[in-house]
Structure 1
């Protein structure tokens, strides 16, 4: 396939020749015997590498599956994902890895499978498997059953360093959660995203008050200090505060921000209700704005979605009973492309935080850039084709989005290793592979 006259992220207009699974050439005036795609006036990006998703299998297929999650990703221009280990069973040994790997073969896009760390993990077995990273290691018992203590955290860093595996950290210090916030639910009515006939009184902001920003800031500081003391490198997941991003950057660590922390704040919770509950929670509008500034200036290294779908029925509960997490794998790149379209961020920066930098951090040398010899993971879009996001039009199994009504630029074509997996609303026959095999 030849994609002709495509505008790349840096503004150059080039032809891109795809031969089999790879990019054969990038240049001007290229010829090909196969299909030709006229990309005049359109932009061509490397596919987004989403280093943080929860595709829910095994154990929670009523929320998402590898088929639905990967199709949703493809429709949003994502060509590779790293799936987190907190499934049922958690991915902590050879048997659980192999069970997830069997299910992941249904993926339409490429993927990595992250290993988990718990008291019951088996690092000797786990590091023998082709894991992508140690994923979302929960520091300081941040979310319950997956939390680990300081000694196990250090042990995990040391073993991962020996194995040459990146460690991703969920940094929230549960000892700094504001327990008093659990008593401040004022019962005000909320226009929840999935309003029902028996609308529930809910103060969704109480969750943000409870899991206070200081709990993240202190945990990031401690995690970076421990890592530096062991001469290890860690990656901080879903940084929700500008202070946390600054700490990671100053410590020489990398960090990610999610679309929900970049585009939503506590100001949105009255409308979102419990559909806006996630960990870490939404922050103030000031912190959201400053975090986006950190994305633009390079302090935040990458965008990852923390795609964590739940059903409407599960989310329609009290703020203390609703599960944490929101879908986002299909809307991340489109939201950023809309910001580039309107001039808030430039296209090269979007390319870097969604593809090039992710490939560098997680050592995917054949992905993340439109260069000869790389995998032909490509996304074509019309930069002027801005449309409002509608949950009913998305492809995640959960069927809703916290970004309802926001403008976005969706791709018209997504290609994974030379195979068209999505084109104008139709899915092709994708054949995703483990990036570590």
Structure 2
């Protein structure tokens, strides 16, 4: 394939030739009849979403590898990393193998994270083509995946021995504000009181857990990556401690002020923060302090999300809207196209050791996304490809891709899907 006249993230106009799944040449002018005339359009490296929950095995009524990866491809994401809290959890060899069999249905490349519980089997996990350990729940009240500090230290040490990154869900449940629950006098958790979830899972709980995670990581000389940081304090603690961190689109664009409209659809962990904290998070995304944007794509059905506040599951979908929302920010000149590229492609590839991905360079995988920078449109849940069919970004604007390639294969083009070609990036 020859793509001609494309504008790259840094503003250069180039022709890009693809051969055998790789980028063969990137030049001002290449000979041959172009397959795609990209004049007036931008060509990006495919996004790498290092934090998704595609729900299989165990919860296929919420999402499957097929529907989740289609949603990814339609949003310009060409690599995803799935988290371990499925059923069974990915904590041993059998759990990994079951998930790997299901992942064969993926339209995009993928990694599989191993989990840490009291019953995990590190020998079996590290014998598999594991992407990382994570999402490791440090002192977090999320149920079966939560671990104590001693087990966390052991897991980090084992990961360091095997040169595996540890991705940490950093919230210290000891610092949750019980008075927020008490404030719900009726105990019914009505959607109108959705802000109580943010008050309950207090911002201080994140900073304390990040500090603990980077301290333990430093003791073991491990690579620690903090998932979905939602506060400027958490981001700064990660940066000061030598860890990398990610921010989700919902923590970047939404705040507690949106909960009156979102209700329980806006419940997630960590929760939405104040408008002031959201603005401070955005500043750190723009100035380079934050390393990665990742979605924490966590779909649930409408019926599940419409339960009372204390019963509704946490999480929102986002894999299809991450890049479009960021490209809209670039279109509005709030972020540069180069910064967007770094957040969604170049930095994830560097941090997680994916040398064949993340850049438009000769010899890299031809994971490419083409879009018209002026094709801004309203986001509608009914138009998206996730099985849950809703979005917390309803009515906001995004710039969606018209063409998505995974290793040179067309997986999405103008509303149509190609072939499922995904493979494990750690194969």
Q: 2:64 aligns to what?
A: 65
Q: 2:13 aligns to what?
A: 13
Give the Cα separation in 2 of the matches to 1:424 and 1:187. 49
Q: Which stretch shifts more, 220-229 or 66-75?
A: 220-229
Q: Deviations over 1:219-254 (max 9, x none)?
A: 101111111122222000000001110111111110
Q: How does 1:209-220 map to 2 (within 5 A)?
A: 209-220=199-210
Give the Cα separation in 1 of the matches to 2:186 and 2:286. 38
Q: Assess if the C-alpha contact under 8 Å between 1:419 and 1:430 holds in 2.
A: no
Q: 1:26 aligns to what?
A: 26
Q: How does 1:377-392 map to 2 (within 5 A)?
A: 377-392=367-382
Give the Cα separation in 2 of the matches to 1:345 and 1:144. 38
TM-score (norm 2): 0.98
Residue 345 (1) aligns with residue 335 (2):
yes
Tell me how far 1:210 sits from its aligned partner. Answer: 0.3
Give the Cα separation in 1 of the matches to 2:187 and 2:119. 42
Q: 2:414 aligns to what?
A: 424
Q: Deviations over 1:267-313 (max 9, x none)?
A: 00000000000000000000001101100111110000000000000
Tell me how far 1:429 sits from its aligned partner. Answer: 0.9
Residue 163 (1) aligns with residue 151 (2):
no
Q: 1:145 aligns to what?
A: 144
Q: Deviations over 1:93-116 (max 9, x none)?
A: 110100000000000000000000
Runs of 4+ off more than 6 Å: 186-190
Residue 124 (1) aligns with residue 114 (2):
no
Give the Cα separation in 2 of the matches to 1:13 and 1:185. 57
Q: Assess if the C-alpha contact under 8 Å between 1:17 and 1:32 holds in 2.
A: no
Give the Cα separation in 2 of the matches to 1:32 and 1:20. 17
Residue 40 (1) aligns with residue 76 (2):
no
- SS where residue 303 of structure 2 aligns? helix
Give the Cα separation in 2 of the matches to 1:201 and 1:57. 28
Q: Which stretch shifts more, 223-232 or 349-358?
A: 223-232
Residue 284 (1) aligns with residue 274 (2):
yes
Cα distance 1:393–1:185, how it changes in 2: closer, same or farther (>3 A)? same
Q: Assess if the C-alpha contact under 8 Å between 1:136 and 1:237 holds in 2.
A: yes
Q: What stretches of structure 1 of length at least 5 have no aligned partner?
A: 191-199
Q: 1:195 aligns to what?
A: none
Cα distance 1:201–1:40, how it changes in 2: closer, same or farther (>3 A)? closer
Cα distance 1:384–1:189, how it changes in 2: closer, same or farther (>3 A)? farther
Tell me how far 1:189 sits from its aligned partner. Answer: 12
Q: 1:268 aligns to what?
A: 258
Q: Assess if the C-alpha contact under 8 Å between 1:242 and 1:291 holds in 2.
A: yes
- SS where residue 293 of structure 1 aligns? helix
Give the Cα separation in 2 of the matches to 1:100 and 1:255. 26
Residue 395 (1) aligns with residue 349 (2):
no
- SS where residue 192 of structure 2 aligns? coil
Q: Deviations over 1:375-417 (max 9, x none)?
A: 0000000000000100000000000000000010000000000
- Superposition RMSD on alpha carbons, in Å? 1.4
- SS where residue 167 of structure 2 aligns? strand
Give the Cα separation in 2 of the matches to 1:339 and 1:434. 31
Q: 1:315 aligns to what?
A: 305
Tell me how far 1:135 sits from its aligned partner. Answer: 1.3
Q: 2:216 aligns to what?
A: 226
TM-score (norm 1): 0.96
Give the Cα separation in 2 of the matches to 1:201 and 1:259. 22
Q: 1:197 aligns to what?
A: none
Q: Assess if the C-alpha contact under 8 Å between 1:188 and 1:202 holds in 2.
A: no
Q: Assess if the C-alpha contact under 8 Å between 1:266 and 1:285 holds in 2.
A: yes
Q: Assess if the C-alpha contact under 8 Å between 2:166 and 2:222 holds in 1.
A: no
- How many residues are matched? 427
